[in-house]
Chain A
Amino acid sequence: MAPPPSIAALHCWMARYQQADPEALAALIGALSPPLLRFFGTRDLMSREQADDLLKETWLRIHRVRHTYRPGQPVLPWVYAIARRVRVDGYRRTRRIRIDEIATEMLPEPRPRFETRNSLPAFETLVAVLPEAEREVVTMLKAEGLSLKEVARATSCTVGAVKQKASRAYERLRRLLQEEENELP
């Protein structure tokens, strides 16, 4: 995996992208697409095709609103705020289609099971059991390496609200890991 670009490089690419520099655009796409795809959670939450679609839609939306990035402001919260919105819209669209096809909400939701019993579950499998708001906070903090302040910016929340969600998520994950351990023969 390529090392994450520096903050200064992201600022510079964004400024050049706003000035219509195709090289800066290519650099941004190359640097930000892998973490964005990871943010959409390819393995447990949706198919790879759906995640690719969301990635494309995110870039189209970034392109459309690129003027709203103010030079000097943090790039990652700006990008993740847009990606988060695309994900919410995608989720709602998918849910509507599913509801149109079959009343899935009538079906009981099975309790999630971790695939591996002897080793620890993968991060994505683990966070897939969390409610949406807590999952995105933990993913941004742990997988994307954003700070509390950056997550707060990306999710339009206060830092206190992010801390609260992270705390609830960690508590829930710890309880789940505990339950899994207790169920081992």
Chain B
Amino acid sequence: MLSTIGAWREIIGLLSSKDRAKEVREYHQALAVNALRSEGWFDLMRIPQTVQDIMDHFGYTDFTYLMRFLDAFVLDEILVRENETYRTNGLIGEFPVNPPNEFGTGIVQIHTDAAAAIPNRLKGIYTTFSDEMNTFNWDDALQLRMYEKIRRAAFRYTDALKRSGNFLDIGCGNGIETAAIWGYFYKKGVFDSDRYVKIYALEFDENLLQIAKEEFVISAARLLDVDRSVIEALEEHHPIFVQGTAEELPFEDEFFDMVYTSQVIHWCDAKRATQDIMRVLKSGGLFFGTEAFSPFLDSYIELFIQLNEGAYGAIKKEDFFQWVTEAGATSAKSVTPAGVFKVLKS
């Protein structure tokens, strides 16, 4: 119970407000509408068009992805669906783009660039975390306080900091999270004691992994407000950074005592990733983190996520619990809209 309260305390004020959720949705909606308006969607749809007409006109190849935009626009009464055709609901002007206050410049630029990539995605061309300015912007965005808050919530919800053994941070990005987790254990005095904790950090994107690896000392020193020499002196305890995917973890069965992911599984083939995480987890091990389970992940954000090849999108909590249970979990729980979760393996 106390752990649940602790998790909520970190999250309150971050994601629970209805106004904030509306603000986030309207922001992503405006970006999507403006991108497809520039593409000529709403000029074409002044006259009712079938899906096939739209695909042929713009050279689109991804029917499913197109349908999801059409459904979202119909739901928001931007388009009208009649007799299997789509037409505009009046004149569609440029939507005002108002980024939510908690969004920094990095994440705003990521979303701006992502919106511009929607037409290509409809033609089957995906984006990556390293496209154009994405490495710079993701590195910046991952410093956001909201990521720190949900990470703290995940740790408060579990007894991870009391556990020992091999720890895996999946989707470590630029390593700021890995450095923060390493710092949590450092503050507990783990690296000066007989307790054994070895952190492994996994990232698929080469550019972000390079930042994580080469800037670990800088990041940890900054987060802990200590001189870099303090971190350098603990080199034997530094994390091991590994390139790989969550779907095919490059580790042997039951190697880890703890596995952590935060807002990562929706970027992967969610079922395969969940199953492989359970494979590398020891019996009695803890799998925990955060995931914006459906319906808390806004449908427009989900469409932006799916610009990346292989990204699953919003995961239903029930599906997630079923996958982990099938893979050997004895207990699976989740709290808060940020989807703070913990799974124990038998």
A, B assembled together: no
Q: Which residues of B contact A (CB under 8 A)?
A: none
Q: Which residues of A contact B (CB under 8 A)?
A: none
